[in-house]
């Protein structure tokens, strides 16, 4: 019973992360093949992000939302586009 709950929880976590990290629910594909391709690619992205997050000892959320930190710091210090 306990092992079943652990597996179910792992599936729930995977599903939540897949939706929140990859934006899979925003798919506009109509054909079945296109939908399968989209889901497959989203799963591959999630797998890679999970691997990198484990290696970096961060959560998958911290990794995703931190991807542009260095770029944003550089742009705020030295903007490449001026709005004045």
Domain boundaries, the chain: 2-77
The pLDDT value given to residue 71: 83
Which residue has tokens 């931190």?
Answer: 66
pLDDT tens by residue, 17-49: 999 988 888 888 899 999 999 999 999 999 999
Please say if the pLDDT value at position 51 is more than 90: yes
Predicted pLDDT of residue 27 = 84
- Please give the share of the chain, as a percent, with pLDDT higher than 70: 99
Q: Name every residue whose Cβ is closer than 8 Å to that of residue 18 and which is 6 or more positions away in sequence.
A: 24, 42, 43, 46
Does residue 64 contact residue 21 with C-beta atoms inside 8 Å? Answer: yes
Long-range contacts of 50-56 (CB under 8 A, 24+ apart): 50/17
Q: In the predicted model, is pLDDT for residue 84 greater than 70?
A: no
pLDDT at 65 over 70: yes
């Amino acid at each position: 019973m306990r092992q079943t709950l652990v597996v179910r929880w792992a599936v729930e976590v995977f599903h939540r992360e897949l939706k929140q990290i990859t934006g899979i629910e925003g798919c506009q594909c109509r054909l079945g093949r296109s939908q399968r391709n989209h889901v497959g690619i989203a799963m591959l992205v999630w797998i890679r992000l999970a691997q990198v997050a484990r290696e970096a000892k961060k959560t998958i959320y911290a990794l995703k939302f931190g991807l542009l930190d260095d770029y944003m710091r550089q742009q705020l210090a030295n903007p490449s586009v001026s709005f004045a």
